[in-house]
Amino acid sequence: MDSPILLLCKSHFNDDALAKIETLFETILDAVSVGGPVVIPYRRSTNAQTFNATAFTSNPSDGRHIDSVRFPGRNPQELRRFEALFRIIELSHEALLSGTLITKRSQSMVDEMVDNLAFTLGVGRGDLNIVATAKGLIAGQVQLMMRGGTSINCAESSDSGVLLPSISAVEKIDFQSVKWLLVIEKEGKGYPDLATRKFLATLHFVQPRLPMFALVDFDTHGISILRTYQYGSQRLDHEERTKVPRLRWLGIRSSDVLSQTMVTQDPSANNQDSQSSQDLSSQESIAYSVDALQDERPTKRPRTRRTKSHPSDSTAPLNEGDREKAVSVLRDICTTARLDSSGREHKLELQRMLMLNVKAEIQAVDDFGDITNWLDERLLSQSR
């Protein structure tokens, strides 16, 4: 595989957003000129409806109505909401005209209003030039050339990672010697952030042959995060490029948890662990360097001294919330029109999770705190 430098084209939806915002401003000016109330359509992203952003009409196919905010407000709360929404529209218009990006802080009301405004106009949130503060980290042989002329070398902070920039600010991506991409989700709280999803989906779009893998906890939130990366979310389904359907599930699964539990319950294995732990600092692990996903050659990777962890420290029984979440995800899977192989696997693993009454963190498959051997084996088997 070569080391391509790929150019990211600017989304044409920015022009659509600008045109729709200016049409909205014209409608507001017309209302003011005749002394009538100013009404701004405000469609909530949780309502699935067909919306005409130019004519500001709706076809509520699910029986719900399009909400709106108006001035003068019908109550003080609506007046404050109109002021906030109008300010967001004004800032977006300025950012689109100047070609700059506005970073949106984590404020629930503003976050919801930006999402709903984008949904109302039929564009993505990034197309308004209002982007969320990055939360994800990236590390590896990738260099990002930004639209402002600067560059980010993601290999410089391989231990801690580099904070993901907004994909809207990236002009070119140099993949250098990258052979695969691994997504590790530990702090998603059941829902990966949009900025990370768009970044990953864009990488997949410009490099569709690059294998992408996901490593998540074996619990309901881990599988839900995986499915959000693969299939997107209903609330933000209008967002462009947020899905990676070819993302492969590397682990962890029920088989990983069961195999680790069986090893620790084997007395001979425990004796061997006890004996080997005394000389752990002198041990070395064998890793594999993969060249173009075909040639495998063993290389030495020194193993540092670590504290032994028992798999039971990273496993726990399901609680009531876990079971409710599992049922909810299973319901979503079963209502899918066409169930693909990934969906069938998710369904089976959730059923096993419920039957075994167990959930596990990624650390459940480590070896004395070192997960590299497990990753080497899985990545090699998936890359063949």
Phi, psi at residue 5, to the nearest 5°?
Answer: -110, 110
| Mean pLDDT, rounded, for 49-69 | 47
CA 47 to CA 347: how far, in whole Å? 27
Q: Which of 100-104, 240-244, 294-298, 329-333 has the lowest mean pLDDT?
A: 294-298
User: Best-predicted range by mean pLDDT among 33-37, 66-70, 129-133?
Assistant: 33-37
The answer to whether residues 230 and 192 touch, using CB atoms and an 8 Å cutoff, is no
Between 182 and 123, where is the model more confident? 182
Tell me, what's the pLDDT at 372? 84
For residue 257, the number of C-alpha atoms closer than 13 Å in the C-beta half-sphere is: 24
SS (H, E, C) the chain: CCCCEEECCCCCHHHHHHHHHHHHHHHHHHHHHCCCCEEEEECCCCCCCEEECCCCEEECCCCCCCEEEEECCCCHHHHHHHHHHHHHHHHHHHHHHHCCCEEECCCHHHHHHHHHHHHHHCCCHHHHCEEECCCCEECCCCEEEECCCCEEECCCCCCCCEECCCHHHEEEEECCCCCCEEEECCCCCCCCCHHHHHHHHHHHHHCCCCCEEEECCECHHHHHHHHHHHHCCCCCCCCCCCCCCCCEEEECCHHHHHHHHHHHHCHHHHHHHHHHHHHHHHCEEEEEEEECCCEEEEEEEECCCCCCCCHHHHEECCCHHHHHHHHHHHHHHHCCCCCCHHHHHHHHHHHHHHHHCCEECHHHHCECCECHHHHHHHHHHHHC
Between 239 and 89, where is the model more confident? 89
Confidence grade of residue 384 (pLDDT, cut at 50, 70, 90): low
| Mean pLDDT, rounded, for 36-64 | 57
Tell me, what's the pLDDT at 98? 86
User: What does the pLDDT look like over 215-239, one tens digit per residue?
Assistant: 999 999 999 999 999 988 877 776 7
Q: Quick check: 310 pLDDT over 90?
A: no
Six token digits for residue 264: 């620790």
CA dihedral sign of residues 115, 118, 122, 126 = negative
Between 99 and 276, where is the model more confident? 99
Q: Quick check: 118 pLDDT over 50?
A: yes
User: What does the pLDDT look like over 249-285, one tens digit per residue?
Assistant: 998 999 888 876 554 444 454 444 444 434 433 333 3
CA 44 to CA 69: how far, in whole Å? 12
Using a cut of 0.75, tell me whether the model's pTM lies above it: no
The answer to whether residues 233 and 243 touch, using CB atoms and an 8 Å cutoff, is no
Q: Which of 22-26, 53-57, 139-143, 356-360 has the lowest mean pLDDT?
A: 53-57
User: Best-predicted range by mean pLDDT among 11-20, 169-178, 241-250, 369-378?
Assistant: 241-250
CA dihedral sign of residues 140, 161, 110, 99 = negative
Tell me, what's the pLDDT at 284? 34
CA 16 to CA 13: how far, in whole Å? 5
For residue 96, the number of C-alpha atoms closer than 13 Å in the C-beta half-sphere is: 22
Q: In what order do the strands lie in the sheet with 143-146?
A: 5-7, 170-174, 143-146, 151-153
| Mean pLDDT, rounded, for 65-72 | 75
Tell me, what's the pLDDT at 109? 63
Tell me, what's the pLDDT at 14? 67
